[in-house]
Structure 1
């Protein structure tokens, strides 16, 4: 008889203050060395001071990645060279497969809480780096929930299976690079959540309160990477919120410069030359 094992925390990384776009202040986790492969970066935008984010992200290019933007409070308006124009508000998400190239902008909106949102980057596999660019909105009502024991899991993408009570849902984003999965977890006071989760890469970014991940307590603004096992155990004494990310690493080399993520320096130089010559989007 075999016994399921709870996945341990193997490392904890603190987010770092940074700035992007037109002076937007963010908290950033970035790892282009494969530690959270297929994910590359988590940016948290959160402020009740409009000067911290109102400049937004004017038109800029991307190649070789997917981006996933998820709004907690406020909103963002997206426009791109393909003609997409839409606004996401609290609870909504937008997914962009940049492929060969896309030029887009994201401009912030506020509600009475200000703005609080996330943008995650995923690296595309080498075979998909020059694929066709696509875009999709996902509304809050499209995202299924797991609930029980003072916990709520909102599934943005991938399959999620709770063990207490037994229930399974699949998020609407089913084409995330590297079989990627992402969920938003909300734990009330003394809430707990036990998930079956065997993805090779599993990490939890805590953004509100303190979260007990297995035997280790992790505070807001930190990313915990999990080791091998079959189950993810989360609990919180006073309440917490977090993003869970999971996937299968590409295990491919990364060449990165600004908004471009390729596999070799030659491909990166080609992306820069294509952008300068107006050929990025093919």
Structure 2
């Protein structure tokens, strides 16, 4: 994505809405804007990457074509039934200045951190970790064979919250808000935020995120509410779907991320009988982003301080 197309997307998606709004006329109807459907602005695929101790994955957000999508910093997709692709896991490593979300579709992963937290993330479950001022954690597989499949999403924190106390919560499938969407078994699972009256277990986060998974078993269309001023995307992990209003929908195939324009509704229809996707929306921060490895702050000086605190053994203290 070159600079021109990047700016075009930012304008279309509402990330530069403050600048664009200056030219709005009083005669324009806010109600029309608030009830509009989100369109697919652009699609892109991830690139092969490795992380941790050699875990093979696909990097979707955080790659050269899409460094970040304010406030989303990274989206990784992992999916393999080859133990060699995941068995070495993610040994102890630090974080500061953002939140991580792990969504497990299949497999078992154990979390341990320097705050004494430990939790098992199994298929259908999720984990939400706020690194805040600093945490050191590991994520290691609790299986030696079989399928390991899921996502990890990094979500930025505003400057005033970057040094907040660390926090951790994990959720089993039963703790997620679930709605059956069709007699064929289609369902939505809400991890964070509100969707069509459902409230996910993760609440009151600084970026007011909406995060959910959809499993579609038929081609019956489904619509969901999205906060109109949020950055939003959808990632198709299996199958193929149409996204957008019925008269202007676009197909999005497996392994592709759809960048979504502004609007308060999203229409989804499976093109394949079985399709799965991750949908995310969050309030953009519009703040400087300085990232170096596992630290995400607003200035280079803050990054340097994070490294000094880590070397001194005080990153997660205080």
Report the TM-score, using the length of structure 2 for normalisation.
Answer: 0.82
Structure showing the higher helix proportion among its residues: 2
List aligned pairs for 1:72-91, cutoff 5 A. 72-91=105-124
Structure showing the higher strand proportion among its residues: 1
1:245 to 277, 280, 285: 280
Rounded Cα–Cα distance in structure 2 between residues aligned with 1:34 and 1:21: 19
2:181 to 139, 148, 156: 148
Q: Does the 8 Å contact 1:66/1:177 carry over to 2?
A: no
The aligned counterpart of 2:260 is 226
CA-CA distance at 1:281 after TM superposition? 1.3
Rounded Cα–Cα distance in structure 2 between residues aligned with 1:17 and 1:109: 24
1:83-130, CA deviations, whole angstroms, 9 ceiling, x for partnerless residues? 112212111111111111000000013487411121110011100111
The aligned counterpart of 1:174 is 203
Matched, 1:9 2:40: yes
1:201 to 222, 227, 231: 231
Q: RMSD across aligned C-alpha pairs, in angstroms?
A: 1.8
CA-CA distance at 1:200 after TM superposition? 2.1
SS of structure 1 residue aligned to 2:84: helix
**Structure having the higher Rg:** 2
Cα pair distance change 1:111/1:219, threshold 3 Å: farther
CA-CA distance at 1:185 after TM superposition? 0.6
Q: Does the 8 Å contact 1:15/1:221 carry over to 2?
A: yes
1:171-222, CA deviations, whole angstroms, 9 ceiling, x for partnerless residues? 0011434111100011113132111222421110111011111210011111
1:157-181, CA deviations, whole angstroms, 9 ceiling, x for partnerless residues? 10001xxxxxx10100114341111
Q: Does the 8 Å contact 1:34/1:249 carry over to 2?
A: no
- 112-121 vs 45-54, which moves further: 112-121
Gaps of 5+ in 1: 162-167
Gaps of 5+ in 2: 1-28
Cα pair distance change 1:171/1:255, threshold 3 Å: same
Rounded Cα–Cα distance in structure 2 between residues aligned with 1:45 and 1:108: 12
SS of structure 2 residue aligned to 1:229: coil
Report the TM-score, using the length of structure 1 for normalisation.
Answer: 0.93
The aligned counterpart of 2:165 is 132
The aligned counterpart of 1:164 is none
Rounded Cα–Cα distance in structure 2 between residues aligned with 1:14 and 1:22: 24
Q: Does the 8 Å contact 2:38/2:265 carry over to 1?
A: yes
Aligned length: 276
